[in-house]
Amino acid sequence: MPFPDSPRVIYNKNPLTEVICQLTFPAILRIDKESPSEYQEKLREDYPFFVEQQGANLKLNFPKEFAEVIGNALPIRSGRAIYQFLSSDKKWKITLTRESLAISTVSYKSWEEFKQHFEKPLSVFIEEYKPAFFSRIGLRYVDIINKSKLNLQDVSWSELLKPSIAGELSDSNIAERITHCVNQLTISLDDEGGVILLNHGLFDDNSNESEKFAYLIDSDFSTEQKTEVQNAIERLDYFNKYSGRLFRWCITEKLHDALEPQSL
C-alpha cells in the first residue's frame, strides 16, 4: 500500500476546510418526481433546514483561482432536482439527488463524529429508497494551510512540505517569486479499484490580509467498482485510514508540530 503508516491524530489547529462523502447509485426516478417528505421527516430533528434546487452544480469551498483549474463541483448532472438538508448551525449538509447521496461539513473534528452524522441519513435513505448498489464511493478532504495562522510567516514552504510535494517551491532561486502553481496526480490505492486524485498547490489567499499565499491539499479518495449497500461504511473507513497517511506524507515534522497534533 502507498504511504507509510502513521499514528492517528486530531489537530488543534485543523487545516481542513471541508470534508465531503458522496455515494452514487443507479438513478432512482422517484427522487426526481416526488419531494422527499418522508426522508426529511426522519431527519428533521438533526437537519431542520431544507433547500431545493434545480439544475445547479454543487460548489465546494475552493479558492476561486484554484477551482478554475481543477474543477469545483460534486459530480452531479445538471437539470436534476437537488435536495439539501442542513443542520441547525448549517455546518453539516446532506445532499440528495436521483443518482447520489452526499454529506459535507465545514466543521470536521474526527472521523467518528463524521460517521455519526452520516449513519442515520444513510440508513434512512437505504430504508426509504432501497438502492440496488453503489456505483461510486468517494471521500474528499480539502486542507488549506496558511502560515500566518500557524505563526510560521518566516518559514519557507520547502521547510513545511515534503520535497515530493514542494517541487518548485524547494528551489531557492525562484521560490519567492512563485505566485501560483497547481499540481495533479492520480494514485492507485489497491486492487479493488480504489484511487486517489490529489490536487495541491500554492494560491493567492485574498481572504487573509496577514499572509498573501496559502497552500491547498485536496485529496479525493474514490472507487467506481460496484459496492454492495451494506459494505459502503467499510469502504469509507478504508479511505479514511489512508487519508491521514497521505496528509502526513505531504507535510514535514515542522508543519505537523505547528498544527498541534493530539493522539487518538
DSSP the chain: --S-----EEETT--EEEEEEEEE-S--HHHHHS--HHHHHHHTTT--EEEEEES-PPBPS--HHHHHHH--B-S--TTSEEEEEE-TTS-EEEEE-SSEEEEEES----HHHHHHHHHHHHHHHHHHH--S-BSEEEEEEEEEE-GGGGT-TTS-HHHHB-HHHHGGGG-TTTGGG---EEEEEEEE--TTSEEEEEEEEEEE-TT-SS-SEEEEEEEEEEE-S-B-GGGHHHHHHHHHHHHHHHHHHHB-HHHHHHT-EEE-
Has residue 2 been placed in a domain?
no
Query: Which tens digits make up the pLDDT trace of 162-215?
Result: 999 999 999 888 988 888 888 999 999 877 779 999 999 998 877 666 678 899
What mean pLDDT is predicted for residues 227-234?
A: 96
Whether residue 56 is predicted with pLDDT greater than 90 in this model: the reply is no
Mean confidence (pLDDT) of the chain? 89
Has residue 4 been placed in a domain?
no
- Residues spanned by the domain of 24: 9-263
Name the least confident of 58-67, 198-207, 253-262: 58-67
The domain total for the chain is: 1
Has residue 205 been placed in a domain?
yes
Has residue 229 been placed in a domain?
yes
Name the least confident of 97-111, 181-195, 200-214, 232-246: 200-214
Has residue 3 been placed in a domain?
no
